Amino acid sequence: MYPKNSPVLQVEAKDYDTLIAKSNHTSIVEFYAPWCGHCQNLKPAYEKAAKSLAGLAKVAAVNCDDESNKPLCGQMGVQGFPTLKIVRPGKKPGRPVVEDYQGPRSAKGIVDAVVDKIPNHVKRVTDKDVDGFLKEGNETAKAILFTDKGTTSALLRALAIDFLGSIQVAQIRNKEKKAVELFGVDKFPTVVLLPGGDKEGIVYSGELKKEPLVDFFSQVAAPNPDPAPSNGKAKAGKKSKTDSKDKADAAEDAPVPDSDAPIDVTDSAPLLKMLVTEAELQKECLSTKSHNCILAFLPSNTDAKEPLPEHAQAALASLTEVIKKHTKGGHRLFPVFTVPRDNDGSARLRKELNLKEEDIELLVTNAKKGWWKHYPGSDFSLKSVEDWIDSVKMGEGKKEKLPDSVVVEAKEEEPKEDKEQQPIKIEVEEIVEEKTAPEHGEL
């Protein structure tokens, strides 16, 4: 849906951790399906937001219709399309804070929400503390924006992230007369770079845009790689303009992390595959040839954009950990799938098996032998889930009869045709925004 030349960054499960989870910057990620009409309608506004946020935050998209991405979408609790999540760096590297975006599906709404989540490492300096600020870490480079605005711009916050640990970025209001006179500033905004030590300050005279400012700052320190290397911070020091620009471009091209959800996606942890359609559910687990399947039916919340309840997240986390332990130990485990609420087969099977729609339900099915087992209780801790799976493997516990009405005849695999299938053309009306997205790339 988003071509290579789109301002929206296309992310896959294999690079989500590097591009988003471990990024220094904030990101918004759209989880979509190409056939989804609402996703197609969102596309113009989403691309417009991506252009406005270029260099400030990452605007990314994950195709949940792609088989390789379905486990990631399931792990992230995606139950409907499109689902938008803001991801920002957490206190620990690689452990971002993730929250659902529930604002307007407009470029302005998206931009404003993402800008609000960009971390602020900019120090506000006043007349009272300007002397202390300059003396503190005198050998460390500092960059000061003199401005007549009271707020800290997204651009300045993004620059502070790029040079965090090597250049202390600060902001001084025009009303701080002592500080303004100390530097001889007579117009606003003005950027002054202090290389550190006894070196004289340098006044910036270029355009107040991200790329030229990164080049200007790179005189004294290289921007941080994104994501940061595991062995520590980027080293400060003079770099050639070409080298600095390459690193700046690399930093801008990378995606962003964000807000508050206890979902942890890592390379080492296997991800749960999601059965999005009823046909997939039937093929994998409900056909006359289907063996043991563990199914996690996600709660049927009234709002698909709401995060999963804590007990549901605990259940998914425990299942993931069990798979991880089996994989590491080289032991075989029957397949584990999640089933979203908007899968038509979910409501049908819940009804046939008398399962509650509002709760997460774990069960194991064996359609070939015509039985199923229900996970008892509401304790979804790792020990409880693991004990239940072990009991299933040992053949312990009562088996319930799987209703004949939910089991389908296994289909014979049809030979693939040589002819390529023609793509389906989807006509979408153009969305026209009455108001343009705000220019956040200004100081």
Range(s) within the chain of domains with CATH label 3.40.30.10? 9-116, 123-253, 273-402
pLDDT number for residue 194: 95
Name the residue with tokens 């889930």. Answer: 385
Composition of the chain by helix, strand, coil, percent to 5: 30, 15, 50
Residue spans of the chain under pLDDT 70? 228-271, 300-307, 413-441
Q: Please tell me the distance from the alpha carbon of residue 21 to that of residue 110, in angstroms, as a whole number.
A: 19
**Neighbouring residues of 278: CB distance < 8 A, sequence distance ≥ 6:** 343, 344, 345, 348
273-402 belongs to which CATH class? alpha beta
Rg (CA), the chain: 26
Q: Which fold has domain 123-253?
A: Glutaredoxin (3.40.30)
**Neighbouring residues of 408: CB distance < 8 A, sequence distance ≥ 6:** 282, 286, 287, 288
**Residue 85: half-sphere exposure toward Cβ, Cα within 13 Å:** 33
Global confidence as pTM:
0.57
Q: Which two tokens stand for residue 154?
A: 């997204």
pLDDT number for residue 249: 40
pLDDT number for residue 237: 45
Q: Please tell me the distance from the alpha carbon of residue 401 to that of residue 19, in angstroms, as a whole number.
A: 46
Cβ 136 vs Cβ 111: under 8 Å? no
9-116 belongs to which CATH class? alpha beta
pLDDT number for residue 271: 56
